[in-house]
Structure 1
């Protein structure tokens, strides 16, 4: 997705704007609103119950190998509800798109148009003083999709809806439960000093279980790779590793890893031991270089593969 940190889903939230509360202390990992919440009935409740450890909390058995830890952490799985925390899936503060409460109507419409989001955080002064969030749906219903004549008097504060404020250490399963109960689809990650550290949406959490969710606004990709020039390809990270090996003519995975690595993204994750940043270059033992073209805090999206005897193209 173009920026999966902030979901384009326009699901409504039946919440009172007056209920917006400033970030509180989250030292206990739940916060005052999230403490002693009843277990949900139905599908989500059964999932969370089945994932509860048999013994004391947090005594998960360690993986048999570093390879198992890397590939399992990168892959979507229902187990991620328990083993991943909010910090693992949230986007960083610098990547958050938000607007001040003093924003004008044309400016707000332009931000929605430019980024294609369905909801945006709203702050007073700076992002460390969040007030709530504004839905594009609310804005359109109140002010129309295309203003004619003079711009009407505009005040953003009456349109604000509540945000959740959560610690980075919270398991994503617990946050998913809170989002379902409170019908709030966006949360800000608060650090120990009460400042904003990141942002996570309902879609981000669901994708940790079922994989990427693409909608009609996401740019499609024709095929899994494009050959840019001899010895160089632009490849989607989800491309099956066997097909990539066949295309570039180089064996990338062998031995015990053959049955554990399924995609190019999984291979690069294993080589780096983490999700590499955009622009970073990871080199395989075969000498093939993988340049990270598109990635976010959670996964690699597109990669440029370059054979060992190929030099990077010179600028200009």
Structure 2
């Protein structure tokens, strides 16, 4: 059994043991935080435990690579073109599509193309010989259930479908594990990091460490604060405390909802654009309503 499988089994055991009623989970998590303050467990251990709890509540849509960012291979491409896509992208798995992104016919693994790098072997290339079946999951699926499915099926990637059965994106086992153990860097991550991803009409996923300058440039906005350089810092200041998953606030024309965070920082947020009329209505509400 390799290290990744061992980790997955360990996390699955934690799911089965800890994911009970919501109130019980909250009490248990508070006990872990108290243990960290007393030095019984270290901060890294606490962050992993918090990640396990977060995964039980997060859904695939919260972490998937959205449709607009997919690197796909057309079914009718020649092997030379496929090799070029693999080399340029640096990815290891690719959805293979027919005429549109909604027609996924299978999954291509980069390592399976290694046998066709010379001219002689390319003459015998048949995509069907190396094409692997695609796995499809709904975007509403909880991450702890997805992780269990990955472990049992030995698949490491799944296509994500929306309520209309269209392709919404893709998700990998690495994406799920990163919610628990933190970002898993590889040789391609430095170039592939995307701080802001569009997930739908006026809805985006934004990394907490996104610089305010980059955020403003992307949205043509002017959010600023003399003490903070990242969007997470600004949101934390606005809330007045380090937020937990699910907390929300509105700054200017942006509504922020925390989708993953730990005891040290905000990892990811869902950002929605709100109109000036919506802001005006919110301002007229009693404070007790706004705080809910």
TM-score range (shorter-chain normalised) is 0.5 to 0.7
Q: 1:209 aligns with which of 171, 176, 180?
A: 180
Gap regions ≥5 residues in structure 1: 1-10, 12-40, 62-75, 221-235, 262-267, 277-295, 301-316
Report whether the alignment pairs 1:163 with 2:134. yes
Q: How many residues align?
A: 200
Post-superposition offset of 1:42: 4.2
Matched residues in 2 for 1:82 and 1:152: separation?
48
Tell me if structure 2 keeps the 8 A contact 1:103–1:156.
no
Gap regions ≥5 residues in structure 2: 28-49, 192-206, 212-225, 259-266, 271-292
Report whether the alignment pairs 1:121 with 2:121. no
Aligned counterparts, 1:223-234, within 5 A: none
- Cα RMSD for the two superposed structures: 4.3
The CA deviation string for residues 18-73 of structure 1, in whole angstroms up to 9 with x for no partner, is xxxxxxxxxxxxxxxxxxxxxxx9413322113423279xx989xxxxxxxxxxxx
SS of alignment partner, residue 21 of structure 2: coil
Q: 1:260 aligns with which of 233, 242, 258?
A: 242
Q: Select the structure with the greater relative contact order (CA < 8 A; seq sep ≥ 6).
A: 1
**Equivalence for 1:79:** 53
Aligned counterparts, 1:298-313, within 5 A: none
Q: 1:185 aligns with which of 135, 156, 166?
A: 156
Matched residues in 2 for 1:101 and 1:108: separation?
10
Matched residues in 2 for 1:195 and 1:55: separation?
32
Tell me if structure 1 keeps the 8 A contact 2:15–2:52.
no
Tell me if structure 2 keeps the 8 A contact 1:128–1:196.
yes
Q: 1:150 to 1:239 in 2, by over 3 A?
A: closer
Post-superposition offset of 1:150: 8.5
Structure richer in helix, relative to its length: 2
SS of alignment partner, residue 103 of structure 1: coil
SS of alignment partner, residue 256 of structure 2: coil
SS of alignment partner, residue 78 of structure 1: helix
